Chains A and B, each alone.
Chain A
């Protein structure tokens, strides 16, 4: 079957098993979308604007200037401090996740630029054990924060995580304290931190650095919350309202600054970063303009 036949088959007639590689069904409007079109559209449904989950590398590619990304700390891997074993050994779960994915744990961190502005970027990999935060994630994020302080560059974290990684027990919980503590120092130094919440941002990740941005943005429809919807339903023994814990719900309740469409995310970040550094503080050595530049004889 030639490629054009495949498309035709997809449009008109019945689909064969192989079509899975070419077509994707939108989870929201159930429309069939040609995958190439979906990719061009930044993995957003062209019919209903449903935002599909992005792979980490795609996210990095979409957010920062081409080829500006320099990854850090890829040599950090999970130890198994509890020798944890449920139906499977934690060590084996790590190995199989690392084999499948592109990263050695659930976050990729590095330096780069957005429209020329230097940033430290952390992007979660939800495909790696549900983006869960163990010691490696906590350490990589903390180092990224420390690097932002060192380089005086803004910090951007794009979260996508089920929460703390219970296979690391109390160590995973303490990563919440470690990252929040580091952000406290960053804030003291007045370095901007923009947090981007993507689908899903839950539990210990939501209850630490994700909710501590100077500015918090979220992608449309992203599930964001402390407790998972199932846990809440079991606790209150009631059905949850429609749209509960979506980005829009959080916006309505005053918990985030804005919901931003994926296509506008990079330009929004650039705009915000520029505005945040617009007014030099007193200690700053940058000259303050008292007249418009054209009148300064420049």
Chain B
């Protein structure tokens, strides 16, 4: 069943109306020629979608980013990569199903793809732990990114997680250590790394595969230090304040581009990536190709220096009278 978000209701009502008119005109000759009316309604629909989707606020975007029909890592792997061969395990007793990784062909060249994976059906959702990775997932990611460095293969990461898994076993196996070690190690990898937030960029769990040379976000994805719900319950003491919290946290792609935390926004098809996987994938492909071409030209020593500099400059402080 299609899940309809609150602000999409009008859009869907109009879409249904158009659909009904079209089928009626096919079924009954007595309806006469209504192509003109239909064209008018379609134009109205486009305008409506444009208006709704260009005015989404933080919380609305969070809902879009979490939409069950939104394309996941494996969807993009199917749509714009070839010969994907999945590689499993952290080699230290962990499987890490919330992150998929492996070698693939992109535009004729080998790449290492690493991305969070949420499930679409209930069983798959549970198997993927809703995209909340255990330490093993991050360790697998690092293992394969190191391998990519060894064979001079660029890395592409897809970020889509509510956060690193908060569970007893995750703590026992060193969730903190896994995330910290990834950042510590990935910053030095002598290979181009492109990171794309495709859905939810959930805090440390996102950052663990979020260090790279070029960071992109899909237009309606979000990236935040804490979920709006978590923030609302801690700071407002009221879970109902999610919308305020989302606004206050500045989690949209536009916010992050303005803050220079990300480098590029990938525009989504009208009505959001969840309504048109193929179009979203085509746009992603274009951005990936452009940036891979550019980054593979940069000498590797310079690349890591630029990467370090990029993260060194993040943050805003006031420095008085030096």
- Hey, which bits of chain A sit against chain B, CB under 8 A? 75-79, 81-82, 84-87, 134-136, 138-139, 142, 164, 166-178, 180-185, 187-188, 203-204, 206-212, 225-228, 231-232, 235-236, 240-241, 244-245, 253-255
Indicate whether A136 sits within 8 Å of B317 (C-beta atoms), given known contacts A166-B235, A212-B181: yes
- CB pair B171–A225 under 8 Å, yes or no, is yes
Q: Can you add 15 more A-B contacts, CB < 8 Å, to A84-B249, A185-B308? A: A77-B317, A78-B318, A85-B248, A86-B235, A87-B237, A169-B248, A174-B261, A177-B183, A181-B183, A187-B184, A188-B188, A204-B204, A207-B180, A210-B176, A231-B230
| 7 A-B pairs with least C-beta separation | A227-B166, A135-B315, A180-B183, A174-B314, A86-B235, A226-B175, A173-B225
A226 touches B166 (CB 8 A): yes
Any A CB within 8 A of the CB of B111:
no
Question: Is B6 located at the chain interface by the 8 A CB criterion?
Answer: no
Identify the closest chain B residue to A164 (Cβ). B225
Q: Give A241 to B169 CA distance when docked, in angstroms.
A: 12
Q: Is the interface of A mostly helix, strand, loop or mixed?
A: helix
Interface contact B317-A78, CB-CB below 8 Å: yes
Q: Is B288 an interface position by the 8 A CB rule?
A: no
Is there an interface contact between A232 and B168, defined as CB atoms closer than 8 Å? yes
User: What is the distance, in angstroms, from B233's C-beta to the closest C-beta of chain A?
Assistant: 10
Is B320 a contact of A174 with CB atoms below 8 Å? no
Check B12 for interface membership: any CB of A closer than 8 A.
Answer: no
* Assembled-state Cα–Cα distance A43/B13 (Å): 67
Given A84-B248, A182-B312, A226-B175, residue A232 in contact with residue B167 (CB < 8 A): yes
Identify which of residues 12-55 in chain B touch chain A, using a CB-to-CB cut-off of 8 Å. none
Query: Does B62 sit at the interface, judged by CB under 8 A?
Result: no
Chain B 300-317 interface mask (CB, 8 Å, partner A; 1/0): 000000001001101111
Contacts of B179 in A (CB 8 A): 176, 207-208, 226
Q: Is the CB of A226 within 8 A of B251?
A: no
Q: Are A171 and B314 in contact (CB under 8 A)?
A: yes
**Among B168, B203, B321, which residue has its beta carbon within 8 angstroms of that of A236?**
B168
> With contacts A170-B250, A231-B166, A255-B177 known, is A180 near B318, CB below 8 A?
no
Residues of B within 8 A of A187 (CB): 184
B320 touches A170 (CB 8 A): no
14 A-B pairs whose Cβ atoms sit less than 8 Å apart in the complex = A82-B250, A87-B236, A166-B225, A168-B316, A171-B261, A171-B315, A207-B180, A210-B180, A225-B176, A227-B175, A231-B230, A240-B168, A254-B174, A255-B177
**In the assembled complex, B77 has its CB within 8 A of some CB on chain A:** no
Shortest C-beta distance, A139 to chain B (Å), equals: 5
Chain A residues contacting B256 (CB-CB under 8 Å) are 170
Is A255 a contact partner of B249 (Cβ separation < 8 A)?
no
Cα separation A135 to B311 with both chains bound (whole Å): 12
Distance in angstroms between the alpha carbons of A236 and B167 in the assembled complex? 7
List chain B residues, Cβ under 8 A from A235. Answer: 166-167
Instruction: Indicate whether A181 sits within 8 Å of B175 (C-beta atoms), given known contacts A173-B207, A212-B181, A232-B167.
Output: no
Q: Is B259 an interface residue (CB 8 A)?
A: yes
Asked if B293 lies at the interface with its beta carbon under 8 angstroms from chain A, I say: no
Contact between A169 and B251, CB atoms less than 8 A apart: yes
Chain A residues with Cβ below 8 Å from B121 are none
| A181 touching B308, Cβ below 8 Å | yes
Cα(A77)–Cα(B315), bound, Å: 12
Query: In whole angstroms, what is the CA distance A240 to B169 when docked?
Result: 11
**Residue in B closest to A139 when the chains form the complex, CB atoms:** B317
Partner of B164, one of A78, A170, A226: A226
Given contacts A78-B318, A86-B235, A207-B204, contact A169 B168 (CB under 8 A): no
Which residue of A167, A184, A210 is within 8 Å of B187 (Cβ)?
A184
How many whole Å from B12's CB to the nearest CB in chain A? 33
Contact B316 A79 (CB under 8 A): yes
A191 shortest CB reach to chain B, Å: 15
List which B167-218 residues lie within 8 A (CB) of chain A. Answer: 167-168, 170-177, 179-181, 183-185, 187-188, 203-204, 207, 210-211
Q: Is B249's CB under 8 angstroms from A178's CB? A: no
In the assembled complex, the CB of A55 is this many whole angstroms from the nearest CB of chain B, namely 24
Partner of A175, one of B210, B315, B318, B321: B315
Assess whether B171 is in contact with A245, with CB atoms less than 8 Å apart: yes
Smallest beta-carbon distance B209→chain A, Å: 12
Query: B11 interface residue, CB < 8 Å from A?
Result: no
B223 near A: Cβ within 8 Å? yes
Contact B171 A232 (CB under 8 A): yes
Contacts of B122 in A (CB 8 A): none
Report if B226 contacts A (CB, 8 A). yes
B311 touches A177 (CB 8 A): yes
Type the 1/0 row for B240-260, where 1 means its CB is closer than 8 Å to any CB of A: 000011001111000110010
Contact yes or no, B315 A174, CB < 8 A: yes
- Flag whether B231 is at the interface (Cβ < 8 A): yes
Known A-B contacts A139-B315, A170-B261, A173-B225; the reply to A226 vs B183 at CB < 8 A is: no
Asked whether B320 lies within 8 Å of A171 as measured between CB atoms, the reply is: no
Query: Is the beta-carbon distance between B231 and A166 smaller than 8 angstroms?
Result: yes
| B3 contacts chain A at the CB level, 8 A cutoff | no
A227 to B202, CA, bound (A): 13
Q: Judging by beta carbons under 8 Å apart, are A82 and B248 in contact? A: yes
User: Which interface residue of B171, B210, B317 has the most chain A CB atoms within 10 A?
Assistant: B317
Cβ distance A255 to chain B, nearest Cβ, rounded Å: 5
State whether the Cβ of B4 lies closer than 8 Å to any Cβ in chain A. Answer: no
Q: Which residues of A contact B164 (CB under 8 A)?
A: 207, 226-227
Name the residue on B nearest A171 (C-beta): B315
Check if B319 sits within 8 Å of A178, measured CB to CB.
no
Q: Would B180 and A211 count as touching, CB distance under 8 A?
A: yes
